[in-house]
Amino acid sequence: MKLKARALATLPAGKHFDGRGLYLEVAPTGARRWRMKYRHGGKENRLTFGAFPDVSLADARARAGAARNQLSGGTDPAAERKAKRQQQQADALTFSVLRDEWLKLQESALSLTTLTKARWLFAQASALDDVPASQITAPMVLGVLRKVEADGRNETAHRVKQRISQVFRYALATGRAESDPTRDLRGVLQAVKVRSHAAVIDPKPVGDLLRALHAYEGQPTTVAALKLAPLLFVRPGNLRAMEWSELDFDAAEWRIPAGKMKMREAHVVPLAKQALVLLRELKRLTGRGRYCFPSLLTDDRPMSENTVNVALRRLGFDKDTMTGHGFRAMASSLLNELGWAPDVIERQLAHAERNKVRAVYNRAQYMAERRKMMQSWADYLDQLREGGTVVAIKAAKKKRSK
């Protein structure tokens, strides 16, 4: 007996057949769903066509008829439906979807500065955003990278390739990609010319630089950053993101949490007397907010990463002479010349120790020495700035001990 449209709403729980495999399945709860039973390749299978009354009797019959046409042509309609659904899912899994997932996972692993740079690098590959990840090929990625190279940004092209690769490795690990297209691009990009950060490292020019920094007449927070940069010689991103909650004036320490550090390890910067004086003066200006060096536009963000470099340019130091990052090279070079132990200097620079056991030992062993070094370094900078006779205290002690 064929089903009657007017009776469908009152049928009791059970299976009510319309013929040739089509039936309305009524659940004990009253829910009604159209289904079709069929055989293909000697195996019984079922299709679902939707719920009644959203799918009418006429619609259900039409869908069943289409499925029977597929069967007569040798196609399993359930397998065809599954393949179509998988293709739709693959088309929806664009590069931007995977990229955003990967970035979300990195929020607890990367510092804010590194995460911001990663987003900027991905922006250089925006042409891939709406492309299904399964359709992205090595030539497609190379086309994106060649455009970056065309602007003379070879190093940026390599970094963009690295970030794209990280996203595809994540997709591979989660079973949503079969390959990493960047693997086929090894040796294809133009080589990067390694350039160290520009820095003033000779004592006399350093004295000139320090005098210029102390004579700068810009924003008070910028002046403070310029004066603190050589004293602390931390990475520029760490300096501008310094927070008042990280400072312990009684212990004379700046404790940078692991989340802000490049190597993901908490770092302590001993504060010399000169640094403490500058920070106390700065606290009167910005101490009510979160950041020691807030943005001029809002207290919710730190100052721009270009602030110190722009100030250096205004003082007459071009990018080939001195940069904000150059204060680290300056300190490293001069402290080595002054006779301080390389391991102590490297630890204060927060360079990673490859030997993990030795790293734990060094953190405890070198703290007292680092405190002495940071105060001696501040005193040394004062001497250079004042133009007086400079005595290499550490080196002099070593010579006397021989």
> What are the residue numbers of the active site?
235, 262, 325, 328, 351, 361
Under 8 Å between Cβ of 155 and 192: yes
- Beta strands 32-40; 253-256: pairing state: unpaired
SS3 291: strand
Q: What tokens were used for 259?
A: 């989340």
390: nearest Cα among 398, 374, 379: 379
CA 247 to chain centre: 25
Q: How far apart are CA 313 and CA 15, in angstroms?
A: 82
Say which residues have a Cβ less than 8 Å from residue 374's Cβ, sequence separation at least 6: 231, 269, 270, 271, 272, 275, 348
Q: How far apart are CA 97 and CA 23, in angstroms?
A: 40
Pure H helices in 18-76: 57-72
Polymer length in residues for the chain: 402
Please report, to the nearest 10 degrees, the dihedral formed by the alpha carbons of residues 393, 397, 398, 402 taken in order.
150
Task: Return the H-helix or E-strand segment holding 134.
Answer: none
Q: What tokens were used for 364?
A: 């405890």
Say which residues have a Cβ less than 8 Å from residue 122's Cβ, sequence separation at least 6: 99, 103, 160, 163
With 0-12 CB in 10 A as exposed, 13-18 as middle and 19+ as buried, what is 58? exposed
SS3 55: coil
Q: How far apart are CA 200 and CA 213, in angstroms?
A: 13
Q: How far apart are CA 198 and CA 227, in angstroms?
A: 18
